[in-house]
């Protein structure tokens, strides 16, 4: 089975449209969305509509729960908060209820999927280094767990002796005797210094994991941020990839 896995779409319909175009060239069976469907950018309804109609599993992230008032926003910076309030006004009632209905973590297809972390999934912990694996590997019982949330691609591997390593390569063959937490990066607002949108494909037969990056019409996304009166910083950070 081949999975295409996206996360942190953040209302960016231009990167989503380019993903849709690219996905047609990659034979696949399932499309998974790891949450943060909305927030930051200016097309929440278009992106939620697509997720509702085209994914085989969708999770909610902290921004989705913030918009539908299922998590507190006291730790949000002012840009995120402004976008959250704008999104709450912009969302249709149907999409609002859909976001409310999504879980933050789920086990399906013998894989664990979480927005932020399998350990305390609604505390929105960041997984960025091997030390974060200490709490997180015991928190799920499958070989693989895919996450988003940091907007930075990452492979965390736990070897049979318990040793945990962090790494990343464009193509990676999953070892049968190790366990993994894999961050797929962000479709709508990458933050690893590369402004190209990110998603992952995983083939359970070949065990091949591929990190895909692509350009999209970012100027259009930025223009909409300006037109809607959202913070200019949100347009600038798309270009910087931070
Ligand atoms: Zn996010």
* pLDDT tens column, 187-221: 999 999 999 999 999 999 999 999 999 999 999 99
What is the Å distance from ligand 1's center to 35 Cα?
8
* pLDDT one-digit tens code per residue, 88-147: 999 999 999 999 999 999 999 999 999 999 999 999 999 999 999 999 999 999 999 999
What residue has token string 């840009």? 79
Q: Measured in angstroms, how far is the CA atom of residue 69 from the centroid of ligand 1?
A: 16
CA of 175 to the centre of ligand 1 (A): 29
Per-residue pLDDT of 43-70, as tens digits, reads: 999 999 999 999 999 999 999 999 999 9
Half-sphere CA count of 104, side-chain side, radius 13 A: 19
Among left, alpha and beta (phi > 0; psi -120 to 50; other), residue 120 is left
pLDDT at 241 exceeding the cut of 90? yes
Ligand 1 center–CA 192 separation, angstroms: 13
Q: Is the pLDDT of residue 72 over 90?
A: no
* Pairing mode, strands 2-6 and 197-203: antiparallel
233 CA to centre of ligand 1 in angstroms: 16
CA of 21 to the centre of ligand 1 (A): 23
| CA of residue 176 to ligand 1 center, whole Å | 30
What residues are neighbours of ligand 1 (ion), with CB under 5 Å? 8, 36
pLDDT at 118: 98
Q: What pLDDT digit, counting tens, does each position of 27-45 carry?
A: 999 999 999 999 999 999 9
Distance 161 CA to ligand 1 centre (A): 33
Write the pLDDT tens digit of every residue in 145-166.
999 999 999 999 999 999 999 9
Q: What is the pTM of this model?
A: 0.97
- Spatial distance between the Cα atoms of 143 and 175, rounded to a whole number of angstroms: 10
Provide the β-strand partners of residue 203. Answer: 2, 208
Give me ligand 1 centre to Cα 72, in Å: 15
């Amino acid at each position: 089975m081949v999975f295409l896995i996206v996360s942190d779409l953040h209302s960016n319909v231009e990167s989503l449209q380019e993903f849709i175009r690219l996905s047609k060239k990659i034979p696949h069976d399932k499309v998974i969305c790891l949450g943060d469907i909305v927030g930051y950018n200016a097309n929440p309804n278009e992106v939620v509509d697509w997720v509702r109609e085209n994914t085989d599993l969708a999770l909610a992230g902290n921004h989705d729960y913030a918009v539908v008032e299922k998590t507190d926003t006291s730790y949000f910076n002012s840009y995120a908060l402004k976008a959250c309030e704008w999104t709450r006004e912009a969302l249709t009632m149907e999409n609002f209820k859909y976001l409310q209905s999504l879980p933050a973590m789920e086990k399906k297809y013998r894989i664990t999927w979480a927005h932020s972390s399998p350990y305390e999934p609604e505390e929105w912990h960041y997984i960025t280094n091997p030390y974060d694996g200490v709490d997180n590997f015991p928190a799920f019982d499958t070989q693989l767990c895919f996450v988003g949330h940091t907007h930075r691609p990452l492979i965390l591997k736990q070897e049979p002796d318990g040793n945990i390593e962090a790494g990343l390569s464009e193509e990676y063959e999953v070892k049968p005797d190790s366990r993994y937490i894999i961050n797929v990066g962000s479709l709508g607002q990458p933050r690893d210094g590369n402004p190209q949108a990110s998603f992952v494909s995983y083939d359970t037969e070949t065990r091949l994991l591929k990190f895909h990056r692509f350009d999209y019409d970012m100027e259009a996304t930025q223009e909409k941020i300006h037109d809607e009166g959202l913070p200019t910083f949100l347009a600038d950070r798309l270009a910087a990839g931070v």
